[in-house]
């Protein structure tokens, strides 16, 4: 029997271009026992799925030899049974993908992660292989990349220093050539070598590890070849421009990385811990689950938790982009990084610092960035053949015209070397991951969490969306919609009904008590209260016998007039739950309640319909209630469905050629979420949501489904622009080089310039419009 696989994650510093990721990927795959690997340039992370016997120290040493710094992010995660998809590493291997059926209490989706199994970090099991900390210090000079922390100042990086040194040497060589022309070629050769030595060392290391066709190899051949044919000035210029381009890539990659990492800066560094009577300031990262903290008005919350005392408006905009502060009181969940409004709160910590909502969002996005989109996989495969093909073309251009047509050797070797530089695949390879990473980061900042490039790419292709009703299209809690007066006034009816419901935790009772409080109606005390199973409740209020229950039970007690019955039936036809109040043997009035649609549901559905998307409500609720909500929202309704019925309907839509998204609360929709092309979980929980579904909408706006599809379309549009830039520039310079219009240094601009343009174009997605 095959041993179960393990999973280890690493922070890789100095990786800031696509060819870096490809080199690391290729080297790691050759290591014994490595089953799969995911590398993200933007997140600066690497996830390795491997056998328990894999020598991780040796793997780290090899990657360090390529010029990167490799540090473990966490200990290897326990057994990962052979997953079905090649990029299962990217999301939830400990959690089993998306087929979990969570029987959580509806409405309590714990974002804090304190239930049962810890799937916040794939690897907090304590069994690090011995080699994990034994890798040698990185050879910082071997790779012109920044080995500082990912948040280092750009002009202090090793790459910036190398670029500056090469630039100074080039200027000095230019001056020498100006004043002492005979020494010019030697000065330019020396300037070229200052920049080329670290590049050549990386080329040799890559070649030794089985990758002869890297950008460093092409650069080294071109620069040395140029010196041999007497073009040392251009050789020095090419090396300097290459280093400038690489440095700019590093700056751009750092910006994309900082975009999502900046979320972690929202969490304050200190917290007020309430222990032994007096509060004291402690580091926020030292807080443990169960600690009690005090949060003053205007302070940011240092941890996820549950409010024990106090009520305040919580501004969640920094974390979710939700513009309106949310009123929260005792037992409500609050999240790290949000801002406490107008009152002091006592909060019990429900998640450690490494496991709070923001830390998990950042981690989920980083893992998602490692998961490759289909387009990215295709371009990776394409580039493996593209670069060797260009080397062959360059060799033919250099050799064939002089041999066959008697052309001058210097001229055609020069053109061959220029074509070699044009063949660098960097711009092409980074075109997709740069846009995908920027799209995922933008989504996360808007409360749209997508589990990887494939999901982001697929979201724009959706043609039908199936919504759950309760908690998705509706708020998930009933509200009083009508207070009908018969023999008593509306406020009296509400007061007596509230008196009977006082102390009950039933959702309908809470709705009535909430409405009474909102309307400022005083609730009289009730005595001798008694529940009548399936019918209602009776009690004595101010010496009067009062009954509050279903219309059918009320009709058994007193005769309702034809007009009253008509009114009650009309309310029922609207999908409302109607209860009748009887006081002293007379029908006093009635109260109608309904789980009302979310405020933005109608507009969100209209947006989808306007875009030509088919919308459908799939619910297990009774037909009358479902159709009442359906009429309000103008959506086709399928009611009284079991989970397997929802799954069957999704299958039927797919058979008709629809690309189907299923939007549910991620709790008991598992079969349907798994069956859909894309499962989207609705609500404020990252745990349940992201285990069960492919994507999650954190703040429950129906309109965010359209926003997610729009983000996908803009990202794919950006990728198409990037491919045009990358291939277009190469095609133009290929022609102009062969014709003899452009030479070596414009050729390096065709690659480096294209890479910088592609990365900057992708970063435009980070400035995407926020939630309206």
* Closest of 728, 730, 717, 732 to residue 762, by C-alpha: 717
Paired tokens of 720: 């198409």
What is the C-alpha separation between 259 and 434, in angstroms, rounded?
13
Please give the DSSP secondary-structure letter assigned to residue 460: T
Residue 273: CA count within 13 A, CB half-sphere: 16
pLDDT at 307 over 90: yes
pLDDT of 763 above 50? yes
531-540: average pLDDT: 83
Query: Which structure tokens are listed for 172?
Result: 């000095």
What confidence tens digit (pLDDT) does each residue in 643-677 have? 778 889 999 999 999 999 999 875 556 678 878 89
- Give the pLDDT score at 293: 95
- Measure the CA–CA gap between 137 and 429, rounded to whole angstroms: 29
pLDDT tens digits, one per residue of 170-201: 999 999 999 999 998 999 999 999 999 988 98
pLDDT for residue 362 is more than 80: no
Per the model's pLDDT, the better-predicted residue between 157 and 606 turns out to be 606
Stretch 10-24: mean pLDDT: 78
pLDDT confidence of 292, banded at 50, 70, 90?
very high
In this predicted structure, what is the pLDDT of residue 105?
Answer: 35
**Can you tell me the mean pLDDT for 260-271?**
79
d(CA 656, CA 46): 40
Q: Which of 78-82, 158-162, 581-585, 600-604 has the lowest average pLDDT?
A: 78-82
pLDDT above 70 coverage of the chain, percent: 82
> What is the percentage of the chain residues whose pLDDT exceeds 90?
27
Whether residue 762 has pLDDT greater than 70: yes
Residues 6+ apart with CB under 8 A from 396: none
CA angle 447, 449, 451 (to 5 degrees): 175
pLDDT of the residue at 124: 36
Q: What is the mean pLDDT of the segment spanning 584-601?
A: 91
Q: How would residue 94 be classed by pLDDT, with cut points 50, 70 and 90?
A: very low
Instruction: Please give the model's pTM, rounded to 2 decimal places.
Output: 0.68
Cite the active site residues.
468
The predicted-structure confidence for 324-342, as pLDDT tens digits, reads as follows 677 888 888 898 888 898 8
Per DSSP, the residues of 343-382 read S-EEEEE-S-GGGSHHHHHHHHHHHHHHSPPHHHHHHHHH
Report the pLDDT value the prediction gives residue 140, as an integer from 0 to 100: 32
Which residues, listed in sequence order, are joined to residue 340 by a DSSP beta bridge?
314
Side by side, the strands of the sheet bearing 326-328 are 326-328, 312-315, 339-340
- Answer whether residue 99 shows pLDDT above 80: no
pLDDT at 260 over 70: no
- Structure confidence by residue, pLDDT tens digits, 202-230: 888 888 877 777 778 878 888 888 888 88
- To 10 degrees, what angle do helices 601-610 and 623-633 make? 70
Q: What pLDDT was estimated at residue 440?
A: 85
Comparing 129 with 680, the larger pLDDT belongs to 680
**pLDDT for the residue 145:** 35
Q: Is the pLDDT reported for residue 255 higher than 50? A: yes
Q: Could you tell me which residue, 507 or 124, shows the higher pLDDT?
A: 507
Mean pLDDT of the 698-715 span: 91
Q: Which residue has the tokens 């970063």?
A: 763
pLDDT (0 to 100) of residue 614: 96
pLDDT bin (cut points 50, 70, 90) of residue 154 is low
Q: What integer is the mean pLDDT of 694-717? A: 90
Res. 770: pLDDT tops 60: no
Q: What is the pLDDT of residue 141?
A: 32
Tens-digit pLDDT profile for residues 564-576: 999 998 988 887 8
Query: pLDDT per residue over 30-67, tens digit each?
Result: 888 898 888 877 678 888 999 988 888 988 988 888 87
State yes or no: pLDDT of 139 exceeds 60: no
Average pLDDT of the chain to the nearest whole number: 80
β-pairing verdict for 660-664 and 464-467 = parallel
* Spatial CB neighbours of 397, under 8 Å, sequence gap ≥ 6: 412, 415, 416, 419, 738
Q: Is 11 left (phi over 0), alpha (psi -120 to 50) or beta?
A: beta
């Amino acid at each position: 029997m095959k041993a179960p696989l393990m999973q280890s994650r690493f922070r890789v510093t100095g990786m800031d271009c696509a060819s870096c990721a490809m080199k690391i990927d290729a080297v790691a795959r050759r290591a014994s026992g490595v089953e799969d690997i995911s590398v993200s340039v933007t997140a600066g992370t690497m996830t390795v799925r491997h056998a328990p016997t894999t020598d991780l120290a040796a793997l780290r040493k090899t990657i360090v030899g390529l010029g990167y710094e490799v540090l473990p992010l966490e200990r290897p995660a326990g057994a990962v049974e052979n997953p079905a998809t090649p990029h299962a590493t990217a999301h939830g291997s400990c959690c089993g993908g998306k087929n979990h059926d969570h029987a959580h209490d509806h409405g309590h989706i714990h974002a804090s992660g304190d239930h049962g199994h810890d799937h916040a970090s794939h690897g907090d099991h304590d069994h690090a292989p011995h080699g994990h900390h034994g890798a040698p210090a990185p050879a910082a000079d071997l790779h012109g990349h920044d080995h500082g922390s990912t948040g280092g100042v750009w002009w202090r990086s090793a790459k910036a220093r190398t670029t500056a040194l090469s630039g100074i040497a080039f200027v000095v060589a230019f001056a020498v050539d100006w004043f002492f022309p005979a020494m010019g070629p030697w000065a330019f050769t020396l300037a070229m070598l200052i920049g080329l030595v670290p590049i050549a060392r990386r080329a040799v290391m890559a070649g030794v590890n089985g990758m002869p066709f890297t950008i460093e190899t092409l650069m080294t051949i071109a620069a040395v070849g140029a010196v041999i044919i007497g073009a040392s000035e251009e050789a020095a210029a090419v090396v300097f421009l290459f280093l400038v381009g690489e440095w700019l890539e590093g700056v751009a990659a750092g910006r994309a990385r900082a975009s999502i990492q900046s979320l972690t800066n929202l969490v304050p560094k200190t917290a007020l811990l309430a222990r032994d009577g007096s509060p004291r300031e402690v580091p926020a990262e030292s807080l443990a689950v169960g600690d009690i903290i005090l949060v003053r008005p205007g302070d940011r919350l240092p941890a996820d938790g549950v409010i024990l005392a106090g009520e305040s408006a919580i501004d969640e905009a920094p974390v979710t982009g939700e513009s309106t502060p949310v009123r929260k009181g005792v037992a409500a969940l609050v999240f790290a990084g949000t801002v406490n409004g107008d009152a002091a709160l006592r909060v019990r910590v429900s998640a450690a610092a490494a496991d709070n909502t923001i830390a998990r969002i950042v981690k989920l996005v980083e893992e998602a960035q490692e998961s490759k989109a289909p387009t990215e996989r295709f371009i990776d495969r394409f580039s493996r053949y593209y670069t060797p093909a260009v080397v062959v073309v360059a060799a033919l251009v250099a050799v064939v015209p002089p041999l066959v047509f008697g052309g001058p050797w210097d001229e055609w070797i020069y053109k061959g070397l220029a074509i070699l530089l044009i063949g660098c695949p960097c711009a092409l390879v980074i075109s997709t991951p740069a846009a995908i990473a920027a799209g995922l980061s933008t989504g996360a900042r808007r409360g749209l969490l997508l589990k990887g490039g494939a999901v982001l790419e697929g979201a724009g292709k959706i043609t039908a969306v199936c919504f759950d009703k309760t908690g998705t299209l509706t708020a998930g809690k009933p509200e009083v919609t009508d207070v009908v007066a018969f023999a008593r006034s509306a406020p009296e009816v509400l007061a007596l009904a509230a008196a009977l419901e006082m102390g009950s935790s039933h959702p309908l009772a809470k709705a009535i008590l909430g409405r009474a409080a909102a309307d400022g109606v005083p609730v009289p005390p009730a005595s001798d209260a008694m529940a009548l199973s399936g019918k209602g409740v009776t009690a004595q209020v101010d010496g009067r016998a009062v009954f509050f229950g279903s219309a059918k039970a009320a009709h058994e007690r007193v005769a309702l007039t034809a007009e009253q019955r008509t009114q009650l039936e009309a309310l029922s036809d609207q999908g409302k739950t109607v209860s009748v109040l009887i006081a002293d043997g007379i029908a006093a009035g009635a109260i109608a309640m309904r789980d009302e649609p979310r405020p933005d549901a109608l507009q969100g559905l209209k947006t989808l319909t306007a875009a030509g998307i088919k919308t459908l409500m799939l619910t297990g609720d009774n037909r009358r209630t479902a159709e009442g909500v359906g009429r309000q929202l103008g959506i086709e309704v399928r009611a009284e469905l079991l989970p397997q019925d929802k799954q069957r309907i999704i299958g039927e839509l797919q058979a008709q050629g629809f690309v189907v998204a299923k939007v549910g609360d991620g709790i008991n929709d598992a079969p349907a979420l798994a069956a859909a092309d894309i499962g989207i979980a609705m609500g404020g929980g990252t745990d349940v949501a992201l285990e069960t579904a492919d994507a999650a909408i954190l703040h429950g706006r129906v309109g965010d489904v359209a926003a997610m599809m729009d983000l996908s379309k803009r990202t794919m549009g950006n990728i198409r622009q990037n491919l045009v830039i990358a291939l277009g520039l190469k095609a133009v310079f290929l022609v102009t080089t062969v014709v003899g219009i452009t030479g070596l240094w414009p050729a390096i601009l065709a690659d480096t310039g294209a890479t910088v343009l592609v990365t900057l174009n992708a970063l435009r997605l980070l400035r995407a419009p926020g939630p309206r």
